[in-house]
Amino acid sequence: MIADTPPAIVIPAGAAAAPVAVRQGPPAHQGQLPAAKAEKKPGWRTRLKDKGVTLTFSYISESAASITGGRDQGAAYTQQLLASATVDTGKAFGLEGGKIIATIIHRKGQDLTATRIGNLFEVQELFGGGQDLRPAELSYEQQLNDGKTALKFGLYHTGDDFATLPSGCQFQNFAFCPRPTTLFYNSGFSGFPIPRWGVRAKREIARGLTVTVAAFEVNGIRAQTGNGWQLAPRFDSFVLPVELGWKFGQQEGGLPGLIRVGGLVDTTDKPDVRDDINDDSYVLSGLSPAMRQERWSAWIMGEKMIARFGPGDRGLSLFGTVTLSDRHTARVPFFLSGGFVTRGLWDSRPRDNFGLGLVYARVNPRIADRQRDEIALGQTVDVQKDEMSAELFYGWQATGKLLIRPNLQYIHRVGAIDRYPDALVAGMTVKLIF
């Protein structure tokens, strides 16, 4: 890998409600009064929800096995337990339009990418973010102007509001799920379950068109195992993202689409990947790397349903993402991904889905220049170029609460170098939401 292990991101998906059967024609035994039935007493979670408190519990696991290629063959398993409470402050306290979210998780497992394969992006996106028990979010959001404006602050994630596509977390490879991994490599951008203190404002400026701005602390300490409860903020540097989002085709029976265009500035001082203060190679000069006072990233991404198979989200959707980042500090300044996701192709399996995703990531050519300088000095290093990968998955919604999703991943030029053969990885995601 070419960066410190970035935090994996998982956003649990709620289970879809079972379809309600509609009776046609007059009821049986018309004219007869049905026998009285005792009403079932609602459970404790239902009573809490009526008072504005919604509880969510989930178990997610991701298993992966390297079949061929990479550094070595083997298998790894990682899992996450989650408990979350969402409080509707209107129902709970009479403060309309408010929402409190508190989430805690526990992660445990192994990372096949680090132990066996050696590619750029984890083949188990669930791994990372500290393998321990930790808070993942504590935030408050307030809707204003009939929902056209939303303010949010607290301990949460940059990726909750920026550079995210709905289809992203259908994949197990970290390159997709659910936002471009290069934003983690190249800046202080954060994602679930590593929260940062921040504040965000979102405004609908026209029908379907929104603008979102935010400011988050840069704090990598909280990502380390054992440091999840270190909640004190660090306001010495910030990530400042802005994004324009456009939703279209949202009418009944339409073909919905989404486009996001955004960028960020990270005010953290970072060393140049090649240059010293004289713009020469610091490897050859022996001087320290030049310090850059800020770094930037930008993205454009979209998703569009092109065919509909039924109501709701049943259809075939295409997606794509491009990111660019600062050449002086970025490890992966160019990233490209795309593919398709199909949901509910068969009437008998309306909640099953399958998809194919492709990724191209180019390592900064200035890093390759530095590596060639190291070779010239007699050091044994590999010159990194680019890496390409693909993932094919099928998601079987076994029940309303249980999802089983096998996948195959293929990785070309493992680690962006030519040392290892291409890798083939078989994976399995299991999600239980209750």
Tell me the per-residue pLDDT of 172-230, one tens digit each, with 9 for 90 and over: 999 987 788 899 889 999 999 999 999 999 999 999 999 999 999 999 899 899 999 99
Structure confidence by residue, pLDDT tens digits, 402-423: 999 999 999 999 999 999 999 9
**Confidence check: pLDDT of 23 > 70:** no
Distance from C-alpha of 333 to C-alpha of 368, rounded to nearest angstrom: 13
From the list 72, 82, 81, 144, the residue with the least C-alpha distance to 114 is 72
**Confidence check: pLDDT of 354 > 50:** yes
Render 328-381 in DSSP notation, one character per residue: TT-S--EEEEEEEEEE--BTTBTT-EEEEEEEEEE--HHHHHHHHHHHHTT---
pLDDT band of residue 78 (cuts 50, 70, 90) is: very high
pLDDT band of residue 6 (cuts 50, 70, 90) is: very low
Bridge partner residues of 209 (DSSP): 206, 246
Bridge partner residues of 144 (DSSP): 149
Choose between 161 and 26: higher pLDDT.
Answer: 161
Distance from C-alpha of 367 to C-alpha of 370, rounded to nearest angstrom: 5
Percent of the chain residues past pLDDT 70, beyond the cut = 91
Residue-averaged pLDDT of the chain: 90
Instruction: Specify the residue for token string 């390297």.
Output: 66
Distance from C-alpha of 404 to C-alpha of 396, rounded to nearest angstrom: 5
CB-CB contact of 121 with 128 (8 Å): no
Q: Is 182 helix (H, G, I), strand (E, B) or coil?
A: helix
**Confidence check: pLDDT of 11 > 50:** no
Instruction: Specify the residue for token string 């997709």.
Output: 176
Model pLDDT, residue 128 = 82
**Confidence check: pLDDT of 15 > 90:** no
Choose between 30 and 55: higher pLDDT.
Answer: 55
**Burial degree of 318 (CB within 10 A; 0-12, 13-18, 19+):** middle
Of the CA atoms within 13 Å of residue 220, those in its CB half-sphere come to: 11
pLDDT band of residue 39 (cuts 50, 70, 90) is: low
CB-CB contact of 134 with 229 (8 Å): yes
pLDDT band of residue 37 (cuts 50, 70, 90) is: low
Q: Detail the DSSP E strand segments found in 283-333.
A: 289-292, 295-308, 315-325
Choose between 261 and 22: higher pLDDT.
Answer: 261
Distance from C-alpha of 301 to C-alpha of 258, rounded to nearest angstrom: 8
**Confidence check: pLDDT of 21 > 70:** no
Return the exposure string of 198-232: e unless at least 16 CB atoms fall within 10 Å of the residue's CB, then b: bebbbebeeeeebebbbbbbbbbebbeeebbeeee
- Phi, psi of 317, rounded to the nearest 5 degrees: -125, 140
Structure confidence by residue, pLDDT tens digits, 102-124: 999 999 999 999 999 999 999 99
Calculated CA dihedral for residues 424, 58, 90, 313, nearest 10 degrees: 40
CB-CB contact of 425 with 409 (8 Å): yes
368 C-beta neighbours (distance < 10 Å), count = 19
pTM beyond 0.75, yes or no:
yes
CA distances 161 to 126, 130, 213, 262, Å, are 19, 22, 9, 11
